[in-house]
Amino acid sequence: MSTLSRRISAMSTLLTLLDALDDLPQARKLRERTYEALGEIVVDVGCGSGRAVGELAARGARAIGVDLDPEMLEIAVARWPASEFHLADATALPLDDGSVTGYRADKVLHAIAEPERAVIEARRVLARNGRAVLVGQDWDTFVIDSDDPELTRALVHARADRLPNPRIARRYRNLLLDNGFTDVTVEVHTIVWTDTTGLPTLANIGGEGPWLDEQAARARNDRLFLAIPMFVASGTRAD
């Protein structure tokens, strides 16, 4: 398989995984929660395929999507042609100081080598009393029922260790407090799968093989259990 073919395949797999997650009623409810009090001009950092941007625009906000992946942005533009998207890094946003009322970063900071720089950038682009919302999972806290819990634990940790900052979600509160945000709160919303819709996420953790085969059998027999706690931290830009 050529390098281009492998990249297309990887992008397709990632998009399938993200769409499967975003389509869950629990995920839709969580997104709605993260949209609250973001104001009239919102930047969605790491916007991916643009679903949040489209949904925020439908709520009447001027929503700006930012992502570092040009292929994801192409998908976002195709899906939401009336929305605004920019190719940029989370630590260097193409926005003026104090130009947005809301900042949202969903499942982003774990992929950044220096997540504190992204939070500093969030403060820069937010207007006075602007609201920042950080959303994501702690990659060590996937809860999976399995016949081999030791192997499952090893697979979860191995998958986590492939990321620059897999445990950053547990630091969201301190990142906001340490970088000029007040009224900081943290919530946990757990997403649960008990059927075949959880298999793409499990494949992303364990890959093809006997372990995933067991999970597929569990799904067929209505015995699959996968739970992912999602952390939502928010704060107000301090003067």
Q: Band of the pLDDT at 193, cuts 50, 70, 90?
A: very high
Which residues does residue 132 pair with via DSSP β-bridges, in sequence order?
103, 235
* pLDDT (tens digit per residue) in 99-114: 999 999 999 999 999 9
Residue whose C-alpha is closest to residue 86's, from 109, 103, 108, 63: 63
CATH class of 3-137+167-189+232-237: alpha beta
Whole-prediction pTM: 0.90
Provide the CB-side half-sphere exposure for 225 (13 A, CA): 7
Which residues does residue 21 pair with via DSSP β-bridges, in sequence order?
none
- Listed in sequence order, the DSSP H helices in the chain are 3-22, 25-35, 51-58, 70-79, 115-125, 149-160, 172-178, 199-206, 210-220
- Angle among Cα 97, 55, 78 to the nearest 5 degrees reads 90
Distance from the Cα of residue 148 to its chain's centroid: 28
Which residues does residue 199 pair with via DSSP β-bridges, in sequence order?
none
What is the model's pLDDT at position 231? 98
Residue 131 structure tokens: 């609201």
143, 226 Cβ separation under 8 angstroms:
yes
Q: Is the pLDDT at 6 greater than 60, yes or no?
A: no
Return the H-helix or E-strand segment holding 228: strand 226-237
Q: Band of the pLDDT at 228, cuts 50, 70, 90?
A: very high
